[in-house]
Chains A and B, each alone.
Chain A
Amino acid sequence: MCKGYRNLEFDMINKLKYFLIALSFVAISCNNSAKKDSTTSEDTSMETSETAKISDMSIYNLPSHWTTQDGEEIELKELQGKVLAMVMIYTSCQAACPRLVADMRNIEKQIPESKKDNVQYVFVSIDPETDTPERLTAFAKENQMEDDKWLFLRGTEEDTREFAAVLAVNYKQISPIDFSHSNIISVFNQGGELIHQQEGLGVNNKETVQAIIDLAK
């Protein structure tokens, strides 16, 4: 990943122990090593060795950091290995979101017991400012989704926007408490590749359920 300008000071302090040429090169030119690049620096090579091989289309290529409803910091790639059913919502939403939540619950109900452990249901907040971990916990409780299989995530505004771009979810804040957003439930395989998308509210979820069953072990 290219280091952003804003991290510069941090980078500099952090990397002063390395050679000065390397230092100025990394900090100024914004260059950083890709996996295919031969000039792999120390920290990125560590990062890549941790990660199992993922494909070009995997969402685990996204470097974003998220906070869960329990206040835990996670990276998306920690979800690797499970089938994901993912939806973007915000907790103060009155219209569409309760129905999206109901849709997710409905999908979960139809997954056979033997496969349930292999599926993670993820709600990503499009309103990170309001949706604090406390708020997400309360929301989970209200909806009786306190089990581990329900995961609520909150990120920075920028990471959220980027994630929505990947899911092709459009959203816009229309008032301090209200957003317009497209209603899409996305299914990802164990490697983080988008396999299926269900668009709309209260639509027939048969295909979505089938997609999950086919993927889950």
Chain B
Amino acid sequence: MKLYSTTLFLVCSILFFKATAQNDSMALVKGGVYLPLYGASGQTVKVDPFMMDIYPVTNEEYLKFVKENPKWKKSNVISLFADKSYLTKWENDTTYTGLPNAPATNVSWFAAKKYCECQGKRLPKIDEWEFAAMANEKVADARRIESYNQYILSWYETPRTFNNPIGESYKNYYGIYDLHGLVWEWTQDFNTVLITGESRKDGDKNPNLFCGSAAIGASDLMNYAAFMRYAFRGSMKARYSSQNLGFRCVKDIEI
């Protein structure tokens, strides 16, 4: 019995420190109401408060994960969960290329999801990600500010930013870095984006349901930058990975 309680104490205290450490690397996004690019007929969406990783997951952190969870090593991962491009630039199961603090990329949705679960976290929903990413250094919603959009668009034109270390882009209103300027990021519900080609094949009465409405329904036609993100998400499959696609995790607020 004494053994049990000692164990319990040990486990709990380690967990406590772990949880505290996690919160240090996360920032609070207060939540609120926003009008997404693809709202349901222009409806605003309510985003509940959540904690978000300040930085994307790095090579070094991902290496730790695959060491602890060998089934996610490059040579072990099953093809249902990751295609051949998974960790493609890694020299072997435990050697990444590039900087330790560069974002981990070439990771499939399944792998990213599992990583977050193993940290007691989850992937952000599109609305959560987009909500946090509306911020510039000063304000929570900078989408109408020219310099904000210019920053994103000039990043899109800059090649190979995925090789850069984390934390070199701006620190946003919430204290979060790299939502723009480094890599694109997985979201939990990336497959809610219905602007893929397949909808065109439907002999439905309302062929514009998905496809046509993608262009017309954009809440803000000026918002080309966000359109690119949605289009990219719509083109991905869960086992795909890409060198310019990384991820970060979020956590619900514990009440």
A residues with a Cβ closer than 8 A to B are 2, 4-6, 8, 12, 16, 20, 23-24, 27-32, 34-37, 56-59, 61-62, 95-96, 161-162, 164-166, 168-172, 174-175, 180-184, 199-203
Task: Identify A199's interface contact among B68, B119, B198, CB under 8 A.
Answer: B198
> Which chain B residues numbered 175 to 224 have a C-beta less than 8 Å away from chain A?
188-189, 191-194, 196, 198-199, 201-206, 209-210
Cβ-Cβ contact count across A and B, 8 Å cutoff: 126
B71 proximal to A (CB < 8 A): yes
Residue of B nearest to A193 (CB): B80
| Interchain nearest-CB distance for A22 vs B (Å) | 11
The contact of A95 among B15, B118, B206, by CB within 8 Å, is B206
CB <8 Å contact, A24 and B70: no
User: Contact partner of B69 among A31, A56, A166, CB < 8 A?
Assistant: A31
Q: Which listed residue, A16, A57, A184, touches B80 by the CB 8 Å rule?
A: A57
Q: Which of B6-14, B99-107, B136-144, B162-170 contacts A (4 or more CB under 8 A)?
A: B6-14
User: Across the interface, which residues of B come within 8 angstroms of A162, CB to CB?
Assistant: 110, 113, 238
B-side residues, CB < 8 A to A, are: 3-4, 6-8, 10-11, 14-15, 18, 40-41, 68-71, 76, 78-81, 109-110, 113-114, 117-121, 188-189, 191-194, 196, 198-199, 201-206, 209-210, 234, 237-238
- Identify whether the interface residues of B are mostly helix, strand, loop, or mixed: helix
12 A-B contacts (beta carbon < 8 Å): A12-B11, A24-B10, A31-B68, A162-B113, A165-B109, A166-B238, A170-B191, A170-B193, A171-B191, A172-B189, A182-B194, A182-B199
CB neighbours of A199 from chain B (8 A): 198, 201
Contact A34 B71 (CB under 8 A): yes
Measured CA separation A29–B120 after assembly (Å)? 11
Cβ B234 vs Cβ A170 within 8 A: yes
In the bound complex, how far is the Cα of B118 from the Cα of A182, in angstroms? 31
